[in-house]
Structure formats: C-alpha cells, structure tokens
Amino acid sequence: MIKQWIEKQKIKSKMHKCFRHCKMYHEKKQGDKKIRIYPQITNIRPLEDRLEVVFILQTGLSTEAIDETIFKQVFGKNIEIKHDKIKKCVLNVYKNEIPKKVNYDFHLIKNHVAKMQLPFICGLDIHGELIIIDLATEAHLLLSAETGGGKSSLLRANITFLIELNGNYELYLTDLKRSEFGMFRNCSNVKGVYITTSDILPTLKKIEKEMKYRGDLLDQHEVNSIDELDIKLKRILVVIDEVALLRKEKEIMSIVEDISSIGRSLGVHLVLSMQRPDSKILESGNLKNNLRVRISGRQSNSMNAKVAGVEGAENIGMNQRGRMLIKLDDIQEFQGFYLDSAEAKKILKNYKVKGQVHVEPEQQLGVKQENILGVLDE
C-alpha cells in the first residue's frame, strides 16, 4: 500500500509539472504568497496495457490549454489525451509503441471491412488495432502531409485495396502531377485516370448530371439516400491528388464543392489530397465544413496543421515516415499503411482489364441508367 501511494504521488508530481508548463492553474493569494490550484486528479489507475489518469478542469480553464507536447516530454511519447471538450480529461500512458512501419496486406484487412460499402484503410493505432472508416458514412476526406509524410503511399494502398476488394463502386482518379495514378489505368473499378483539367472537367460535368439524376430518383421514391432504393446504384469515388493545383479552375472547384455538399446521400464521395494545406481552398466555401474526415502526416508548422484541420501534426517527427493523425470527433494517432510502387504494380497486374480501351466520359457513369429507369432524358 505504501509503495502504491508513493507511485501515485510521483505521478501527481509529474501531472502538476505538466499543468504548470501548460499554465493550467488558478492562482490564489494566501497571506503574502500566491499558491497555484491545479486541476483535480480524480483517479490514477494502472491497467494491463497503460496507465490511466483522470483529471477535472476548474471553471475558467479550457481544454484548449492542453499541450500534448509537454505531456509527452514528461510521460514519454506513447500517450493519448481525451476529453469531453468541457472539463473531464483522461491521460493514457501506453506501455506499447505504435509500430514504425505497417506493410499493406489485403488478406489481413479484408475481413475487417465486410460491412463497409466504401472503406478507406488508414493503419494501426497504439492498441495495435486497425483504423478503417467507411466513406459511405463519413462522405468525404482530406489527406495532407509534407514530402515524406506517407501521403502517396497511403493513397496508393487505398486505391489498390479498393481494386482488390472489387466492391460496388467506380473510381475516378485525377493526378495533375502525372506521378502517382498511371499504374491504375485499365484496372477493374477504375473508370478513368485524368492528368489535365481538360480531361477531368467533362467527367465532373457527367458526375454532376448523375447527381441530378440520383437526386430526382430520391425525390420520386420519397427517400433520403440511395441505400433506401430498391435498385443498387454504384457509389462513385472521386480522388484528386494535389487538389491545390485546381484552385484557379472555378468551374471544376464549383462541382467539387457541390459534391462535398450533397454527394453523401447520392453515393458520390471525395478523397482530396494535397502536400501543403492551401488556406484559399480549405478556409472558404463549402469544402471547409464538408470534408469531415481529416488525415494529416507531418506538417512543417502549426499554421499548416491548423489549415489541414489536424492540430498537432506539426509535432510528428521528421523521421516518423508514415506516422499520421486522423480527426473525426477527436484526434487519433496511427502508422499508415505502406505500399511502394513496385509492389503495387505487381498486385495490379492481376486486375488489368484485357483489351480495355479509352472510354469517353459520357459512357463511364451511371447516367446510362436513365434509359432503363426512364427518369432522365439525355
């Protein structure tokens, strides 16, 4: 009992050190002296895989004052802080580390996505558990990271995974730098790879028309989502690498914003990526609020991390290749899946559609369904 008490006092002392450096305290005058009143530590609990410390902020203190960098300096880098955004906070200090590399393996992942319609695979968290989201639910995603941050590898792994999975979806890939998506040409599920704005604009216009068709279909059947229809429409995923290069293309960006606003219920989804977060794109218009899922690798500074929507990404080390943060309701750290180009090309050989030729944009989308359903006229 004495030993446990001593250990708890050491932990409290470390917590007070963190509170002091984060300026998380009130000062109260007592005689000629000022004393500091720190947040109340209500529970210290050693668990099998971690140490859990629960603390409560006093009135007047904000969870925004919590600086994870300071807590990592005191408790080590394998920590996680969760809070209810008001006053209750939980610090977890883990015994295990997030792996430094997680190789892509389709067979290890596929059983975890059985109930998902359009999975986006992320990687492994500190618990050794897979982080996977379903874009059918979460709608749209922004992926950003500076050079060497793992963005390209994670995109490559996800497109390869969707091709191997071969679900009820179509992929439209835009690669204006002409450096990433060429390997996916003529693969099953991939309906187009576009490398210029003049290539992608006609297809986006067809997707816009398809959304109008699907919206009319929902109205006609008095339902809120394509999932409620008797017919099974394919989900459409538009992936744009280095979307910042489109900032001056007003017509294209207008359609992209429309997809972000109304695409979820219509089964049309976005994955946008950029190396350096662009405030002109992300801090105005509909994209700011509609890109619900934010994933970021290392950012060079706190301003870039803030624009990316994942504060703390600037604290990822330069040597932590593939280490990322994902923000949904809160922020989680994970090691992203790694898949190099050579290995991806070997995998994709099995999914090339023999004899496939270039298909005009108007022949690629579900707008052909109007001939069957009689809802829209060409």
What pLDDT score does 341 carry?
95
| Phi, psi for 260 (deg, rounded to 5) | -65, -30
Who wins on pLDDT, 224 or 318? Answer: 224
Q: Inform me whether the pLDDT recorded for 371 exceeds 60.
A: no
What is the rounded distance in angstroms from the CA atom of residue 369 to the CA atom of residue 378? Answer: 11
Euclidean distance between CA atoms 89 and 330, whole angstroms: 13
What's the CA gap between 63 and 21, in Å, rounded? 14
Tell whether the model's pLDDT for residue 254 goes beyond 80: yes
pLDDT at 368: 43
Nearest to 203 by CA among 17, 367, 12: 367
CB 104 within 8 A of CB 157: yes
CA atoms lying within 13 Å on the CB side of residue 375: 19
The pLDDT of 2-22, averaged and rounded, is 94
Q: Does domain 102-373 bear CATH number 3.40.50.2300?
A: no
Contact by Cβ (8 Å): 237, 206: no
Predicted confidence at residue 296, as pLDDT, reads 95
Alpha helices by DSSP H, listed for the chain, are 2-21, 68-75, 106-109, 135-138, 151-165, 197-221, 250-266, 279-282, 287-290, 302-308, 341-348, 370-373
pLDDT higher than 80, residue 360? no
Distances from the Cα of 108 to the Cα of 117, 258, 290, 335, 349, angstroms: 18, 36, 31, 16, 20
What per-residue confidence (pLDDT) applies to 369?
Answer: 43
pTM reported for the whole predicted model: 0.80
**Amino acid 48: pLDDT:** 86
The arithmetic mean of pLDDT across residues 24-34, rounded, is 89
Note the pLDDT of residue 77.
83
Segment 327-331 shows an average pLDDT of: 86
Q: At what angle do helices 341-348 and 151-165 cross, to 10 degrees?
A: 10
